[in-house]
Amino acid sequence: MKAACHFPPHTLPPPTPKFPNTRRQSPLTFGNYMASRSGDYVSLIFTYGTLKRGFYNHKLMEELMSTRDAVFMGNYTTVESFPLVVGPHGIPFLINLPGSGHWVRGELYSVLSDRGIALLDELEGIDRGHYERLPVEVVNEDGGDKKVATAEAYFAHREFGEAIWKRCGKVGLSEYSMDDGRRYVRREDRPRNSSFLGDVKKFISGNN
């Protein structure tokens, strides 16, 4: 039987293929970044899930912005399509299978310090095999002059990403919505004997 992830796909009107009217621009020339802080940025981070405004883990982005370790750049969409699915506990996963799924909507942040990246990496379980921080090209949604930026996003780890995509019947989202976010279970509210990777394995096997 075809598996599903319990959430209907949110459709996004497809942009013109390959964004022919876009132009590439160095992130250091973005006005709101330069107005906020001088110096080099560490990374542009594309957020697509619970780090977005209005979602549970956005409190970390708020902390980084309050200490001038990050700056909000705007609403952006991936240049290529990717699978975006919701897994166990309502956790969103972007999967590194370009050409599948939808163009994914999210938010772009300029992270200005190694401290900021370290805190984000810790939240996303980089050292624990939960997510991988990988390059992704995104284009701004605001205004008529489209600009492509090379950012990074936290993708589901390669050890299980494709398996989750198959478990979800290869049906994805174009955006992690507020309805999806309401199904998110905070870490402190999950069963004590559960683990992230253990729950992912159960989800893939259909025993969630």
Is residue 95 a part of any domain in this protein?
Answer: yes
State the SS3 of the chain.
CCCCCCCCCCCCCCCCCCCCCCEECCHHHCHHHHHHCCCCCCEEEEECCCCCCCCCCHHHHHHHHHCCCEEEEEEEEEEEEECEEECHHHCEEECCCCCCCEEEEEEEEEECCHHHHHHHHHHCCHHHCCEEEEEEEEEECCCCCCEEEEEEEEEECCCCHHHHHHHCCCCCCCCCCHHHHHCCCCHHHCCCCCCHHHHHHHHHHCCC
Among candidate residues 107, 124, 152, 175, the one labeled active-site is: 124
Is residue 60 a part of any domain in this protein?
Answer: yes
Is residue 41 a part of any domain in this protein?
Answer: yes
User: What pLDDT digit, counting tens, does each position of 155-188 carry?
Assistant: 999 999 999 999 999 999 999 999 999 999 999 9
Q: What is the CATH number of the domain that holds 41?
A: 3.10.490.10
Is residue 14 a part of any domain in this protein?
Answer: no
Is residue 2 a part of any domain in this protein?
Answer: no
The pLDDT value recorded for residue 40 is 64
- Whole-model pTM? 0.83
What is the total count of domains within the chain?
1
Is residue 135 a part of any domain in this protein?
Answer: yes
Is residue 178 a part of any domain in this protein?
Answer: yes
**Tens of each residue's pLDDT in the chain, 208 residues:** 344 465 444 444 444 344 444 445 444 334 444 434 444 668 999 999 999 999 999 999 999 999 999 999 999 999 999 999 999 999 999 999 999 999 999 999 999 999 999 999 999 999 999 999 999 999 998 877 888 999 999 999 999 999 999 999 999 999 999 999 999 999 999 999 899 999 999 999 987 6
**Among this protein's residues, is 159 annotated catalytic?**
no
Is residue 11 a part of any domain in this protein?
Answer: no
Write out the residue range of the structural domain in which residue 106 sits: 23-205
The pLDDT value recorded for residue 42 is 87
